[in-house]
Amino acid sequence: MTGMTEETAYDRVRLAQWRAGEARMPGLSRRGLLRLTAAGGLALAAAGMAPGTASAAGPIVKPLPPELFDVYGTNAEMRWEAMRGQGYLTPVDRFFVRDHTSTPLLDAAAWRLKLFGSGLRGGPVEFTYQDLLALPSETMTAFVECAGNGRSFFAGQQGQQVSGTAWKLGAVGVARWRGVRLATVLARAGLSRDAVDVLPEGLDADYLAAGVNLGKVRRPLPVGKALQDVLLAYEMNGQPLPPDHGFPVRLVVPSWAGIASIKWLGRIEVSATPLVSPWNTQFYRLLGPDYPAEGTLVTEQVVKSAFELPWGATLTAGRQVLRGRSWSGHGRIRRVEVSTDGATWHPARPIGPALDRGWLRWEFPWRPRAAGTYTLRARATDVTGVSQPDVAPYNTQGYLFGAVVRHPVTVTG
Ligand X SMILES: Nc1nc2c(c(=O)[nH]1)N[C@H]1C(S)=C(S)[C@@H](COP(=O)(O)O)O[C@H]1N2
Binding site for Mo ion (CB under 5 A): 98, 146, 258-259
Fill in the DSSP letter of residue 246. Answer: T
77, 83 Cβ separation under 8 angstroms: no
Decide: is 79 part of the binding site for ligand X (CB under 6 A).
no
What are the strands, taking DSSP E only, across 246-288? 250-252, 265-271, 285-286
With CB under 5 to 8 Å by kind, the binding choice for 204 among ligand X, Mo ion, none is ligand X
Residue closer to ligand X by CB (options 278, 368) is: 278
- Interface with ligand X in residues 375-394 (CB under 6 A): none
Residue 243 backbone phi and psi in degrees, to 5: -50, -45
Decide: is 76 part of the binding site for ligand X (CB under 6 A).
no
Q: Count CB neighbours of 9 within 10 A.
A: 11
Q: Which amino acid, one-letter code, is at 412?
A: T
Residue closer to ligand X by CB (options 358, 368) is: 358
How far apart are alpha carbons 214 and 249 in whole angstroms?
A: 22
366, 340 Cβ separation under 8 angstroms: yes
Residue closer to ligand X by CB (options 204, 337) is: 204
Of 10, 72, 80, 96, which lies in the binding site for ligand X, with binding defined by CB under 6 A?
Answer: 96
Decide: is 202 part of the binding site for ligand X (CB under 6 A).
yes
* Residue showing the smallest CB distance to ligand X in the complex: 202
How far apart are alpha carbons 67 and 81 in whole angstroms?
A: 9
Of 195, 217, 322, 392, which lies in the binding site for ligand X, with binding defined by CB under 6 A?
Answer: 217
Decide: is 64 part of the binding site for ligand X (CB under 6 A).
no
Decide: is 361 part of the binding site for ligand X (CB under 6 A).
no
How far apart are alpha carbons 295 and 312 in whole angstroms?
A: 35
Longest dimension (CA), the chain: 72
Residue 65 backbone phi and psi in degrees, to 5: -60, 140
Of 11, 70, 77, 99, which lies in the binding site for ligand X, with binding defined by CB under 6 A?
Answer: 99
140-179 footprint of ligand X as x/- string (CB under 6 A): ----x-x---------------------------------
Stretch that binds ligand X, among 28-36, 83-91, 92-100, 131-139 (CB under 6 A): 92-100
376, 338 Cβ separation under 8 angstroms: yes
Of 259, 313, 376, 378, which lies in the binding site for ligand X, with binding defined by CB under 6 A?
Answer: 259
Residue closer to ligand X by CB (options 190, 242) is: 242
Of 15, 97, 276, 392, which lies in the binding site for ligand X, with binding defined by CB under 6 A?
Answer: 97
Q: Count CB neighbours of 330 within 10 A.
A: 18
How far apart are alpha carbons 253 and 259 in whole angstroms?
A: 9
Residue closer to Mo ion by CB (options 132, 147) is: 147
